[in-house]
Amino acid sequence: MLLLGLTGSIATGKSTVSSLLALPPYNLPVVDADKIARQVVEPGTSGYNQIVSHFGPSTPDLLVEATPESGGEEGHNGKGRPLNRPALGRRIFGEGKDSDRKALNKIVHPAVRREMYRQMIYAYLRGSWAVVLDVPLLFESGWEPMCGTIMVVAVKDPAIQMQRLRARDSHLTEEDAKNRVAAQWDVRDKAERCLRRGEGAGVVVWNDGEKDELKREIDQVMSEVQRSHPPWWAWMLLLCPPLAAGSGCWSYVRSWWIKRSWEREKQREKAKL
């Protein structure tokens, strides 16, 4: 089974691409890291309790206001008020907030990984020829070597990214929007790194236009992916576990080597400055 890593940057259209890949003609199962990340911090979960304990004392508005509509002090499920996500976002995305982001990631990432692995195994046992790993921070969080193919959803014009973010999240100030974009790798760099993997192993969906243009772009890159990873190969891997294990190991080693080569190259470039 092909692990198709889907990533991008904030407001580049990754979620739209993910939803299109889940529909005909592709019908691919999607493991959505953002959705899982919300589930693992719902009131009553271990992740929720850790976030409240760590950030609560210094973030007075960390939880939504207690009102009859929000379920009062105990929330709708009786396990606490939900997290106030805009407030938490302001806390971790501001300038100089690296330590806060690291603390939050340390709480959320392990729980997200466990649930992602569970869903991947389920997709494999169902005989899916590919599964989409929808991971916004795919490169940053170490998922890159796991993926046989990586698809980056990118825009060539940074202004388009800012416009879409402000339109989507109207509560963000211009400074908030800039901080959120700056907190992630530049999506053009992600696209370049992705293409370094070679034909079929790294593809880029450019999303500077309208939705019809995006659909045509997806069809084009998916035809490249399917040529490199035909469904019959997925069935062979399912029916022959030793072959699947060998193929997975080779893919991991190759992806790891490309990742390492890229990082060394970037380090040399920085050393010359």
At residue 17, the pLDDT reads 96
Q: 7 and 49, same structural domain?
A: no
| End-to-end Cα separation, the chain, in angstroms | 43
Structural domain harbouring 40: 35-125
Q: 100 and 44, same structural domain?
A: yes
Residue 267 in 3-state DSSP? helix
β-sheet bridge partners, residue 6: 134, 151
Q: 60 and 151, same structural domain?
A: no
At residue 95, the pLDDT reads 60
pLDDT in tens, 102-112: 888 899 889 89
Q: 251 and 227, same structural domain?
A: yes
Whether the CB-CB separation of 52 and 46 falls below 8 Å is answered with no
Domain with 223 in it: what CATH number?
Answer: 3.40.50.300
What integer is the mean pLDDT of 64-81? 70
At residue 226, the pLDDT reads 92
Q: 58 and 3, same structural domain?
A: no
Q: 12 and 64, same structural domain?
A: no
Confidence of residue 212 (pLDDT cuts 50, 70, 90): very high
Q: In what order do the strands lie in the sheet with 30-32?
A: 30-32, 130-134, 2-8, 149-154, 202-206
At residue 96, the pLDDT reads 59
Confidence of residue 3 (pLDDT cuts 50, 70, 90): very high
* Three-state helix/strand/coil letters over 182-219: HCCCCHHHHHHHHHCCCCCCEEEEECCCCHHHHHHHHH
What integer is the mean pLDDT of 199-227? 94
At residue 73, the pLDDT reads 66
pLDDT > 70 fraction of the chain, expressed in percent and rounded: 93
Number of domains in the chain: 2
At residue 173, the pLDDT reads 83
Q: 212 and 81, same structural domain?
A: no
pTM of the predicted structure, to 2 decimals: 0.82
* Domain's final residue, options 100, 125, 150: 125
Q: 263 and 171, same structural domain?
A: yes
* Domain's final residue, options 106, 125, 144: 125
* Domain's final residue, options 81, 100, 125: 125
Q: 272 and 159, same structural domain?
A: yes
Q: 193 and 111, same structural domain?
A: no
Q: 245 and 200, same structural domain?
A: yes
Q: 100 and 221, same structural domain?
A: no
Instruction: List the one residue out of 2, 12, 7, 6 whose CA is nearest residue 156.
Output: 12
**Distance of alpha carbon 166 from the chain centroid:** 20
**Distance of alpha carbon 135 from the chain centroid:** 2
> With DSSP H G I counted as helix, E B as strand and the rest as coil, what are the percentages for the chain, rounded to 5?
60, 10, 30
pLDDT in tens, 91-101: 887 665 778 88
> Exposed/middle/buried for 105, CB within 10 Å: 0-12, 13-18, 19+?
middle
Confidence of residue 75 (pLDDT cuts 50, 70, 90): low
What integer is the mean pLDDT of 78-98? 78
Please state, in angstroms and rounded to a whole number, the distance separating the CA atoms of residues 147 and 85. 30
β-sheet bridge partners, residue 149: 4
